[in-house]
């Protein structure tokens, strides 16, 4: 692949009944320190029946509506409708830090890297469980190697050519149940590596329920 100093980035956000959280996600994506003429934001509405469409309409983003087909299908719809050399995925209840895209793209041109995954945080929450989760994740991620075997779609950048080679996400995963791991293995199976950018963060505001974390 030819060297691209700053690739055009498409940020894809799959959303289902996300009216309560989507605005924070979009605002955080719009506030990236990456050049404004070098990225776009695409919201793929996976058959929501709440106010998700209205929330997206309040921002200068591309909005795509699809009949309920699951998050894997929504992500495929997003990246295939995008124009980015690199596609960043996050979720509609996540808040990327302002340097999120920059820190993922920093590794875009590294040899044989097909995807760059980032870390996860619940930093800033007043809840004791969230604070525990934050430090537990930070400790675990700090000990992970430079290259990893799989990623989560809440925080990852994948080269467009790699998505095309791997065929994207398997839409048979109708619910969020392993479509990211499946794609990870297809990417590494094709000979690409997955870099782990420990300093590229997205966060949740809170988790609240112990059973959900467990």
How confident is the model at residue 208, as a pLDDT? 56
pLDDT of 206 strictly over 70: no
d(CA 64, CA 74): 9
pLDDT of 70 strictly over 50: yes
Average pLDDT over all residues of the chain: 90
Query: Tell me: the pLDDT tens digits for 13-61?
Result: 999 999 999 999 999 999 999 999 999 999 999 999 999 999 999 999 9
With CA atoms as reference, report the closest residue to 180 among 203, 147, 206, 150: 150
Query: Which element (helix H / strand E) includes 111?
Result: none
pLDDT of 2 strictly over 60: no
How confident is the model at residue 209, as a pLDDT? 62
Q: Cβ–Cβ contacts within 10 Å for residue 94, how many?
A: 23
How confident is the model at residue 81, as a pLDDT? 98
d(CA 35, CA 13): 19
- Cβ 30 vs Cβ 100: under 8 Å: no
Return the minimum-mean-pLDDT range out of 152-156, 164-168, 200-204.
200-204
Q: What is the pTM of this model?
A: 0.89
- Count of alpha carbons within 13 Å of 15, Cβ hemisphere only? 34
pLDDT of 72 strictly over 50: yes
Report, as an integer, the average pLDDT of 81-98: 96
How confident is the model at residue 177, as a pLDDT? 77
How confident is the model at residue 125, as a pLDDT? 65
How confident is the model at residue 74, as a pLDDT? 98
Burial class (CB in 10 A: 0-12, 13-18, 19+), 209: exposed
Query: Tell me: the pLDDT tens digits for 111-145?
Result: 899 999 998 876 566 667 766 666 666 666 567 67
Instruction: Using the Cα atoms of residue 79, residue 82, residue 84 and residue 88 in order, give the sign of their dihedral.
Output: negative
- Give the pLDDT band (50/70/90) at residue 1: very low
How confident is the model at residue 139, as a pLDDT? 64
């Amino acid at each position: 692949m030819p060297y691209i100093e700053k690739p055009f980035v498409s940020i894809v956000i799959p959303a289902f009944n996300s009216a309560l959280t989507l605005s924070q996600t979009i605002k955080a994506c719009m506030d990236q320190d990456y050049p404004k003429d070098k990225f776009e934001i695409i919201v793929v509405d996976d058959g929501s029946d709440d106010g998700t469409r209205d929330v997206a309409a309040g921002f200068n983003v591309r909005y795509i509506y699809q009949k309920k087909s699951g998050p894997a299908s929504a992500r495929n719809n997003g990246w295939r409708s995008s124009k980015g050399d690199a596609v960043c995925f996050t979720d509609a209840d996540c808040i990327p830090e302002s340097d999120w895209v920059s820190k993922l793209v920093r590794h875009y041109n590294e040899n044989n890297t097909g995807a760059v995954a980032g870390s996860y945080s619940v930093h800033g929450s007043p809840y004791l469980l969230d604070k525990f989760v934050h430090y537990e994740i930070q400790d675990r991620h700090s000990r992970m190697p430079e290259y990893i075997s799989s990623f989560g779609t809440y925080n990852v950048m994948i080269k467009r050519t790699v998505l095309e080679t791997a065929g994207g996400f398997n839409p048979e995963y109708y619910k969020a149940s392993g479509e990211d791991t499946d794609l990870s293995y297809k990417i590494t199976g094709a000979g690409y590596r997955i870099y782990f950018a420990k300093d590229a963060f997205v966060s949740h505001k809170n988790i609240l329920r112990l059973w959900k974390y467990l």
